[in-house]
A and B are shown apart, each in its own frame.
Chain A
């Protein structure tokens, strides 16, 4: 047998280069979601963004993750995907 063979210990996910979604040419008529991951002061950052978007006349919807320690619940992800065109997330404190 070939002693130079080893078995891959990883998830064998090819380093797939996923192309990013194209940026919209304009925010006009789009709904922007703001996701607060529930870390302290994330709301300060998102409040300011909401203020600026509102001044531009753009519709904003706010969302909260129950805790920053876990990925967003499936229901929340589905709700956001259904209700908004773009999402801004405040990642850290």
Chain B
């Protein structure tokens, strides 16, 4: 509840501000001329001889007055602020107080100091205590003897690694990273199909260790994950390996310091690690998708802790997001139901034909060398491998087309039973040339360190496409 403003003049000051000390002797003169209220932010001793001086210890008055600097002088008429000035400006103070001789001996101008309300760590506490924000989530009071980190484990909120306890202040700071309202519903979170609010996203982002500036990327990733095409429900429940993997494109990836270079698919970068993790924690905590319960993965994969990286964009190769319809210069996330990483070691190919054949041969093993049009795949091409294609004038599109041709195989070799292996595609394909991937099922991304003639395959879910999951790209907005 915002307190009513006292009519007359208000001065907000800090005892350790030299300019506030400079004007302190003038306050008695101002008080004689009319009603004056003084709020001191840091001490009961400032202007203590004035009966109307208050120590604003909780900073509630300073917060409601929206003070940014001290001293601030405010005129209030009929309970409404009509004018304010800050710092010491002799003419302004004279005009506002109506005292033409005020501070004759003082210099013309002295700047003030910053308000205590804006000191680091304080503003969110004040907003929670006195502001209009109302967080809706259930408050859980941990015992004073409880270790908050251990308590988060015991309540089942963790993926197995420590999480950051989601205190209201941390959650409020996280919410500052997005312009969306805390109560906005992003979508229905499977498998329990619970409405997931921006506030719940922020809480799980805190758990995961995100910075507030990651929120727009995380929200875009969540939106993509919740589309019908992505089919997150089935992906969570499947006995197979896959789980949401996030590829980030555009200026947002650079702005938040994502890694697309050395060890891009590995550990060590906060944004890569925590954005992917936050999405997994939302699945666990809001959706109820926990392993051994509705998550029935036979083996799973380490990407289920977190799997998120940025593309190392190159002027000569169209970035993934632009291939998928996002305008140049915009940021976007692409969600893919990724399994683990399978390396392709080719240190000898120096021409695109040889390297493409090398890639194609390796890509055959996605799902199983005798399966086709089941799982999609992401081919992550390292800069040294990409250079072989770029220098020969091969675009990403050209590489994909060449790979599609190289990946056609005689059905007779792939059908169940062929080669003495029971696994394989249905008999009806035996007289056809069979593509390895369904149309649109092979994605190409450039990433990695600049040294190393190695690329990587990230296989998708064997139930790719309309039957299960298709990759989904969403622009990063707010």
Contact = CB atoms under 8 A, between A and B. Distances in A.
B168 interface: yes
Interface string B180-191: 000000000100
A85 B416 CA distance: 40
A68 interface: yes
B238 interface: yes
Given A69-B231, A69-B234, A8 B138 contact: yes
Given A5-B139, A7-B139, A70-B233, 8 more contacts: A4-B148, A7-B166, A7-B171, A8-B138, A9-B204, A10-B285, A68-B234, A69-B231
A77 to B, nearest CB: 13
A1 B128 contact: yes
Interface in A14-52: none
A11 B203 contact: no
A52 B238 CA distance: 31
Interface of B: 125, 128-129, 135, 137-144, 146, 148, 151-152, 157, 165-169, 171, 189, 192, 194, 199-200, 203-204, 207, 231, 233-235, 237-239, 281, 285-288, 463, 467-469
A55 interface: no
A56 interface: no
Contacts, number: 91
| Size class of the A contact interface (CB-based, 8 Å) | 10 to 19
Per DSSP, chain A at the interface is: loop
Interface of A: 1-13, 67-71, 92
Nearest to A7: B137
A4 B146 CA distance: 9
A9 B285 contact: yes
Contact of B140 (A8, A67, A70, A92): A8
Contact of A13 (B135, B194, B234): B194
A7 B167 CA distance: 6
Given A12-B137, A67-B467, A70-B231, A1 B125 contact: yes
Contacts of B285: 9-11
Nearest to B164: A6
Nearest to B288: A11
Given A3-B167, A4-B143, A6-B140, A71 B207 contact: no
